[in-house]
Amino acid sequence: MVSVTLSIPKEVKELMSRFSEMNWSGWIRKSIENKAKQLAWKEEMLKKLKQDKEFEDWSVKMGSKVNEGIIKSLKKEKLI
């Protein structure tokens, strides 16, 4: 495990000292770990949404091409 040094205002340190039963180091470590996991999850979801958007755009483009082909075919057969 690596160490990280954190600077906090003196008043906060004094306030923290009043609650010696609290494992501040453990709490901060857990908070950082949870936030990092949340951000990693968010990043993964954004990648998936981007992929979904790209697929959606491709689908719409292909649908338009199919429709254009159908219209050309119908015009060729003089049905429209």
Q: What pTM value is reported for the model? A: 0.61
Per-residue pLDDT, averaged over 3-18, amounts to 96
**Residue 13 predicted with pLDDT over 70:** yes
Residues 6+ apart with CB under 8 A from 6: 28
Cβ neighbour number for residue 29 with a 10 Å cutoff: 13
pLDDT value, residue 30: 97
The amino acid sitting at 56 is E
**Does the pLDDT value for residue 37 go beyond 90?**
yes
Contact 80, 74 (CB under 8 A): yes
